[in-house]
Amino acid sequence: MNKNAIIIGGTSGIGLHTARYLRDVGYKVLIGGRNALENEPGIDYLKIDVTNESSIEEFFRSIPFQHIDSMIYAAGITTIKKNIQDFDKTKYQKVHDVNLLGAILTFKYAYNLLKKAKGRVVVVSSIASRTYSKLSGFEYTVTKAGLSGLVRQLAIEWANDTVLINTIFPSMVETPMLSENVASSVLESIKGEIPLRRIANPKDIASVIEFLISDKNTYITGSGIDINGGQFLSG
């Protein structure tokens, strides 16, 4: 394979696991992130701060590709559920700048390189944007929901250039970060709400992303794909 894949927000979580999966199936993988990437053979890294437009512009000037075959936007930060009375504008703006505005600016500078290759894009949203969330703050759910609108708009805007863009709605994924930050009792409760009765593993997510960015996908764009074991049905 001679395809490249750029993953924005790929130094941890779903982004990093997807980077490893794509590397293993033959993609040339470049991760863009604010934090340095540690010891990942076969994966390249460039620094990017998606809250800084100059940093984004410099990132795309510096990538070692003449075009972009595929891109995954996995950058995101979350918040813990609180009441609307506890709204903090500064906290909201921080989440908004990464989860939504960062995606908009990233695509602004990536598009000409995507167009050259009739590229494929996947945006990582969350089931929290599809149903009521018991854990996530509304800063997170609102900004993740905004990504769906962005994807639908860009799907129309980019269709004439055959650049396909879709979003995915994962629920919790088995990563070290999950086990470190969520109590086992809470995880067991969440499993009970998932029809398939298990938490997703990283391959569940990465394999769907790989299909959406591959040549096998020629006709799906502007869509949202649930990868949450049917949990959205119980919301």
The structure tokens 């989440």 sit at 95
Instruction: Give pLDDT, residue 119.
Output: 98
pLDDT digits (tens, 9 = 90+) for 31-51: 999 999 988 999 999 999 999
Q: What is the mean pLDDT of residues 105-128?
A: 96
- Helix 13-24 vs helix 202-213: crossing angle, to nearest 10: 60
With CA atoms as reference, report the closest residue to 17 among 36, 33, 48, 40: 40
Instruction: For residue 137, give the 3-state DSSP assignment.
Output: coil
Q: Which domains does the chain have, with CATH numbers?
A: 4-172+203-225 (3.40.50.720)
Beta pairing class for 224-227 and 70-73? unpaired
**What is the per-residue pLDDT for 177?**
65
Q: Which residues contact 153 (CB under 8 A, 6 or more apart)?
A: none
Q: Please, which pLDDT band fits residue 192 given cuts at 50, 70 and 90?
A: confident
CA distances from 65 to 6, 29, 160 (A): 10, 11, 23
Residue 81, pLDDT > 70, answer no
The pLDDT of 203-219, averaged and rounded, is 97
Q: Is the pTM of this model over 0.85?
A: yes
Q: Are 163 and 111 in contact (CB under 8 A)?
A: yes
Distance CA 118, CA 187 (A): 40
1-15, 156-170, 183-197: which has the minimum mean pLDDT? 183-197
